[in-house]
Amino acid sequence: MKRIRITREQSKNLTRQRLLDAAQTVFLKKGFNATSVENVTEAAGYTRGAFYSNFCSKTELLFELLRREHEAMQTDLQGILHIASACGNGAERALRHFSRLRRDNRFALLWIEARLLAARDPQFQARHNAFQREKLEQLTDHIREFSVRAGTPLPLPAEALAIGLMGLRDGLHLFNMIDPESVPTGLAESVMAAFLGRAVFGRDATVNGCQADSDVLQSRVRPDRRNAI
């Protein structure tokens, strides 16, 4: 069988992607500060030279990981909007996208690492904050679009709902990762679905056949924690 040869550019892109994948794995296992460039290159099977021909620093690598995750999320949302245009209703898919926690926990950890770094590194903070504002602006636009397609007025400005949605999701990720017994994945996802369903689509939310109304949420909370929620 004839061996397929790849171009120099394709080889460089492949090396870059493997370094990113390896960095994500090592960052999640060891933490950003405890990870060295050697840890990343060893996990990817490359040399330091290969690393520095693709990234100027470990910080740059982290930023590219965040950008890659964000671009994937934007692709998902654009797909939801496309389906909404074709079928007339993207609410269910939007709820599933924003509510799922388990798949995204690895990305939540990366964002925690990035925020800790931003708190200590003014140069990284400037890039992180610009990226964060970009995310908020895009999410705001999506919330407006979903509201228009659902035909429901927003109870608050879209900008405020975007901040609330991001803050709620980040907080639930953290609770679920650290204390999954108190905030299991199903409960956290129901809270997310309820917020998005009521605030954006103006109705109780149903995700994967499970209605996230107040009665269902109350039944999922341990009796000794209901008053706290």
Q: Are residues 123 and 29 in the same domain?
A: no
Q: Are residues 76 and 89 in the same domain?
A: yes
Average pLDDT over residues 5-30: 89
Q: Are residues 102 and 208 in the same domain?
A: yes
* Structural domain boundaries, residue 17: 1-55
Q: What is the pLDDT of residues 93-134, one digit of tens each?
A: 677 776 676 556 677 888 888 999 999 999 899 989 998 898
Q: State both tokens at 178.
A: 């650290």
The number of folded domains in the chain is: 2
- pLDDT bracket for residue 81 (50, 70, 90): low
The CATH number that applies at residue 196 is 1.10.357
Q: Are residues 104 and 183 in the same domain?
A: yes
Average pLDDT over residues 156-162: 93
Residue linked to tokens 């400037």: 126
Q: Are residues 164 and 195 in the same domain?
A: yes
Q: Are residues 20 and 69 in the same domain?
A: no
Q: What is the pLDDT of residues 23-45, one digit of tens each?
A: 999 998 999 999 999 999 999 99
Q: Are residues 62 and 36 in the same domain?
A: no
Q: Are residues 32 and 92 in the same domain?
A: no
Domain termination site, one of 55, 73, 90: 55
Q: Are residues 153 and 124 in the same domain?
A: yes
The CATH number that applies at residue 19 is 1.10.10.60
The rounded Cα 194 to chain-centroid distance in angstroms is 18
- pLDDT bracket for residue 211 (50, 70, 90): very low
Q: What is the pLDDT of residues 125-143, one digit of tens each?
A: 998 999 889 889 988 998 8
pTM summary value? 0.74
Average pLDDT over residues 12-16: 91
- pLDDT bracket for residue 226 (50, 70, 90): very low
pLDDT above 90: residue 214: no
Q: Are residues 65 and 105 in the same domain?
A: yes
Residue linked to tokens 């964000």: 70
Higher pLDDT, 46 or 80: 46
User: What mean pLDDT is reported for the chain?
Assistant: 80
Q: Are residues 12 and 93 in the same domain?
A: no
Percent pLDDT > 90 in the chain is: 34
pLDDT above 90: residue 178: no
What's residue 61's pLDDT? 93
Q: Are residues 48 and 103 in the same domain?
A: no
Q: For the chain, how many residues are written?
A: 229
Q: What is the pLDDT of residues 182-204, one digit of tens each?
A: 888 888 888 888 888 888 777 66
